[in-house]
Amino acid sequence: MKKVRIGIIGSGGIAQGAHLPGYAACPDAEVLAVADVSESTARAAAEKFNVPNVFTDYRKMLEMPEIDAVSVCTPNFMHRDATVAALNAGKHVLVEKPMAMNAKECDAMLKAAHTNGKKLQVGFNNRFGAGSQALKRFVESGDLGQVYYARAQALRRRGIPGWGVFTQKDKQGGGPLIDIGVHILDLTLWLMGHPRPVSVSGVARQDFGRRKDILGLMGQWDTENFTVEDFAVGFVRFENGATLHLESSFVANIENDVFNTQLFGTEGGCTLDPCRMFFEEHRTLVNVSPVHLRDVNTHREEMRAFVAAVKNDTPVYVTGEQAAMVTRIIDGIYKSSESGKEVKIETPAEPVPAAELATTIVKKKKKK
């Protein structure tokens, strides 16, 4: 295979802002077609990125035998159908986050990928950041010991999107928890080594979204049709005894926006923003600050990794099984909020492929 030939399903903001430029920067990729229900949007994307074929029905695009793989860049409620259709058409798929509206939809996507023997990657691009990669190396080296607790935060002070369907539950599935909370949750689970969740409790609140006196720094939204939460918090218990605390907001009375994860281990700890590690050496507390971390366009790295997996027939970097586990936890938080009770997380017998599964219990390296 000389170049991986790509089709784009949904050619709006995330396609034009991330996927199309990401593929354009990848020498092993070539975008052959874009599809969008809005012909004007599709044609604008095609003109901007020199794409030769334009469709208003992605199913027609999937009939092109030349296409090897697709990016699904639609709103959340269309992720499952577009992904399953592409997989059934024999295409590999990179689908934007969240993987789907709920775990049931994720399972249908996983089944289609397995049945057709095609690759399914999910768009959690924050794994590719230089700080994220540095922390992962320290965790996997054993320097943190057993990671027993994590705190994940994706908090905006005033960040309700004023465009798209982000405030409509029937099309988005929820608010900040399913939009930005999934990013920091995936990153944290990945750093922890994907321990198996067993239960979750949480609360999703709507305190600001329907008020007309709230400042909109990301554009003014329709307060009358705001049907999602604007704040959510969850607490996850894992099979190995570890726990995780997740916070996410579109609106919160805090000083600054926060996108951060912290890991607490028996031999050390770390934080993503700022990227730091914390240890005790010879009865002395030591802070470690990485320097010269390269500036990374995480979306370009995401596209490059997907293209490489397709071209070389290697595993994708963000598996569908891992992304589905994120959605199972999100489902649990929403269910717990509705019931007021802790809920069990029903997981497959092997939620993450064995080759991808790490352990959060790591022995401290011996000093030389």
Predicted pLDDT at 346: 85
Query: Are 141 and 26 in a shared domain?
Result: no
Predicted pLDDT at 359: 36
Q: Which domain holds residue 152?
A: 127-294+326-356
- On whether residue 364 sits in a domain, the answer given is no
Query: Are 17 and 85 in a shared domain?
Result: yes
Query: Are 139 and 258 in a shared domain?
Result: yes
Burial 159-174 (b: 16+ CB within 10 A, else e): bbbeebebbbbebbbb
Query: Are 311 and 336 in a shared domain?
Result: no
Query: Are 196 and 116 in a shared domain?
Result: no
Residue 114's domain is classified under what CATH number?
A: 3.40.50.720
Answer positive or negative: Cα dihedral of 61, 62, 66, 70.
Answer: positive
- On whether residue 35 sits in a domain, the answer given is yes
Structurally, the chain folds into a number of domains equal to: 2
Predicted pLDDT at 1: 66
Cα 150 vs. chain centroid, distance in angstroms?
17
Query: Are 103 and 165 in a shared domain?
Result: no
Residue 152's domain is classified under what CATH number?
A: 3.30.360.10
- On whether residue 218 sits in a domain, the answer given is yes
- On whether residue 362 sits in a domain, the answer given is no
Query: Are 186 and 170 in a shared domain?
Result: yes
Query: Are 68 and 139 in a shared domain?
Result: no
Nearest to 147 by CA among 287, 273, 244: 244
Cα 313 vs. chain centroid, distance in angstroms?
22
- On whether residue 172 sits in a domain, the answer given is yes
Predicted pLDDT at 54: 98
8 A C-beta contact, residue 130 and residue 295: yes
Q: What is the pTM of this model?
A: 0.94
- On whether residue 121 sits in a domain, the answer given is yes
8 A C-beta contact, residue 150 and residue 264: yes
Query: Are 33 and 105 in a shared domain?
Result: yes
The pLDDT tens digits along the chain (368 residues) read 689 999 999 999 999 999 999 999 999 999 999 999 999 999 999 999 999 999 999 999 999 999 999 999 999 999 999 999 999 999 999 999 999 999 999 999 999 999 999 999 999 999 999 999 999 999 999 999 999 999 999 999 999 999 999 999 999 999 999 999 999 999 999 999 999 999 999 999 999 999 999 999 999 999 999 999 999 999 999 999 999 999 999 999 999 999 999 999 999 999 999 999 999 999 999 999 999 999 999 999 999 999 999 999 999 999 999 999 999 999 999 999 999 999 999 877 554 443 343 333 344 444 43
